[in-house]
Amino acid sequence: MSGELKETPLREVHLELGGRMVGFAGWDMPIRYGSILEEHQAVREAAGVFDISHMGQFFVEGGEAVDWLDGLLTNNVDNLEEGKGHYTFLLNDKGGIIDDLILYRLQGESFLLVVNAAKSAEDFAWLKAYNKEGVVALQDRSEEMAGIAVQGPRATDVYFRMMGGRTLPGRNGVDEFEMEGQRILVCRTGYTGEDGFELFCGVGGGAHWFRSTLDDGARACGLGARDSLRLEMCYPLNGSDLSPERTPLEAGLGFFVDLEKESFVGREALAAQKSNGLTERLAAVKCLEPGPPIRPGCAVLDREGHELGRLTSGTLSPSLGVGIGLAYLPWEAARVGAALAVEVRGRMIPAEVVKKPFYKKA
Amino acid sequence: MNIPDNLRYTPDHEWVSLEDNVVTVGITDHAQEELSDVVFVELPSVGQVVGSGDEVGTVESVKAASPIYAALGGEVVAINTELEGDPSVINSSPYGEGWIFKVRLEDAGDLDELLDSGAYEDLIN
């Protein structure tokens, strides 16, 4: 393997717990500690904790921050209340996705952007290039920060216990406070479809908070479970389901794009795409019978055997017991109910397009 | 790590047991632990003639697909169809109920090429 993998501040804990480490986005991360299926189930039924220290954290401050961010991100920053976060995109001028991220409005003209590990450097360079006159105070604090995500129906319990009786902010809310001499940011967000929170703190505190969650009822979960959890929810993964060649509209995520905004990078391209009509869209493909796991790259065909596209994501759904995946398909072929097949090593598994998400709570 | 003395092993982490001239093949405890949750098994066919080292099937986990090789040459005389309904048996009982297929040997001499438990233990450490 070329290049050295970066290590998160939680590495010791992962190794102690028997984490199987793999390279992901340039970081040495635990793919699982034991059984991926059990870790997945722990999140759906109780609480799981993930190391998310590899993600990027940028801070934007100043009187011009709202306008500046509104000019660079797709969602409406002006409407974002203090103490809240929203999902948004950073686009290139063709409307293609550089990154998907969550923007949080903190107290007093201060914003936090949490971005994907794989794109962190590229995102920051892009933002810096749009801040040459220093219109806003822009800082990349990723290297100083650790992050953990606790997800599951019991996440609120875990929080209450580890934080000595605190309650979480409301859905999509962000709280900032000092605890045991450390500055903590807690966001009621996640990537699993369950209730939960993401906690960011200084690198020195990461292992402590991770261990606290284990003591207070969370199970350590790795990237394997993280992938099957997010895919059951049809949450896209940048680099797989999203890319600079795809727009949020094709991905079915127009809800997070405010075309009414006067201008933002990529706006014209999206407006044109919308008015011309999309030729392809990202469809949720569900296998109709058990079979070999479907994986990214598998061909998706119509029932006559014509290839329509390839899976950008694919896995066995632990909750549903069949293969699930995402694929960009021609507009008509992507309608809910369309009959398909997914090819795995020459075998055709019957499948169909379903409404998103794959997994719904009972 | 469970490495029964009465079995023989291949460098591909499969175990072999012999009765008359029929061998039973499965994957080792080490292999099932590395793979973790087995979710699908592709079996060879009964009647299939296999050569030593041929790829005859697949054991799949959530994250990986691992080939199964014919440890020895001969004719496949039985396959463990229980694995189609419950592939996780390979994890819970890799040397017992998790057996994968049986081959009637063409050449019993091939057995000499296999590793004993000590040699296999050295290999995985």
The ipTM assigned to this model is 0.90
Residue of A nearest to B34 (CA): A20
Which structural domain range is residue B40 located in? 8-107
Mean pLDDT of chain A: 97
Task: Work out the minimum CA distance from A3 to partner chain B, whole angstroms.
Answer: 23
Is A293's CB within 8 Å of B62's CB? yes
The C-alpha atoms of residue A283 and residue A338 are separated, in whole angstroms, by 10
Measured between CB atoms, which of A31, A37, A290 is closest to B37?
A37
3-state helix, strand, coil in chain B (%, to 5): 25, 35, 40
Is B42's CB within 8 Å of A292's CB? yes
Question: Which residue of A316, A342, A344, A349 to mutate against B (max B Cβ within 10 Å)?
Answer: A316
Answer whether residue B2 is part of any domain: no
Q: How many CB atoms lie within 10 A of CB B110?
A: 17
| CATH of region A279-354, choose from 3.30.70.980, 2.60.120.10, 2.40.30.110, 2.60.40.1840 | 2.40.30.110
Nearest to B84 by CA among B125, B114, B43, B124: B43
Task: Work out the minimum CA distance from B19 to partner chain A, whole angstroms.
Answer: 32
Q: Is the CB of A292 inside 8 Å of chain B's CB atoms?
A: yes
Question: What's the rounded mean pLDDT across residues A114-133?
Answer: 98
Residues from chain B that touch A318, judged by Cβ atoms under 8 A, are: 62
| pLDDT interval class at A178 (50, 70, 90) | very high
Note the pLDDT tens digit of each residue in A251-302.
999 999 999 999 999 999 999 999 999 999 999 999 999 999 999 999 999 9
Q: Which two tokens stand for residue A127?
A: 């933002």
Note the pLDDT tens digit of each residue in A291-308.
999 999 999 999 999 999
Residues from chain A that touch B63, judged by Cβ atoms under 8 A, are: 31, 36, 224
Note the pLDDT tens digit of each residue in A83-116.
999 999 999 999 999 999 999 999 989 999 999 9
Note the pLDDT tens digit of each residue in A138-172.
999 999 999 999 999 999 999 999 999 999 999 99
Q: Which residues of B22-49 are buried (b: 16+ CB within 10 A; e: fewer)?
A: ebbbbbbbbbbeebbbbbbbbbbeeebe
The C-alpha atoms of residue A75 and residue A90 are separated, in whole angstroms, by 10
The C-alpha atoms of residue A184 and residue A148 are separated, in whole angstroms, by 11
Question: What's the rounded mean pLDDT across residues A50-59?
Answer: 98
What lies within 8 Å, CB to CB, of A269 at 6+ separation is: A91, A93, A94, A95, A96, A247
Domain extent listing, chain A: 1-277, 279-354
Is A293's CB within 8 Å of B36's CB? no
Q: Is the CB of B58 inside 8 Å of chain A's CB atoms?
A: yes
Is B62's CB within 8 Å of A34's CB? no
Measured between CB atoms, which of B37, B42, B63 is closest to A31?
B63
Question: What's the rounded mean pLDDT across residues A33-53?
Answer: 98
SS3 A98: strand
Q: Is the CB of B93 inside 8 Å of chain A's CB atoms?
A: no
Note the pLDDT tens digit of each residue in B91-114.
999 999 999 999 999 877 778 889
Fold of A1-277: Gyrase A; domain 2 (3.30.1360)
Q: Looking at residue B63, what is its pLDDT?
A: 86
Which pTM does this prediction carry? Answer: 0.95
Answer whether residue B14 is part of any domain: yes
Q: Looking at residue A1, what is its pLDDT?
A: 46
Task: Work out the minimum CA distance from A32 to partner chain B, whole angstroms.
Answer: 9
The answer to whether residues A170 and A195 touch, using CB atoms and an 8 Å cutoff, is no
Note the pLDDT tens digit of each residue in B22-69.
999 999 999 999 999 999 999 999 999 999 999 999 999 988 999 999
* Strand residues in chain A grouped as ranges (E): 6-7, 20-24, 27-32, 48-51, 56-61, 84-91, 97-105, 110-115, 137-140, 145-151, 174-179, 182-187, 196-202, 219-220, 280-287, 299-302, 307-316, 323-330, 339-344, 347-354
Residue of B nearest to A321 (CA): B39
Strands A27-32 and A6-7: parallel
CATH number at residue B41: 2.40.50.100
Residue of B nearest to A39 (CA): B37
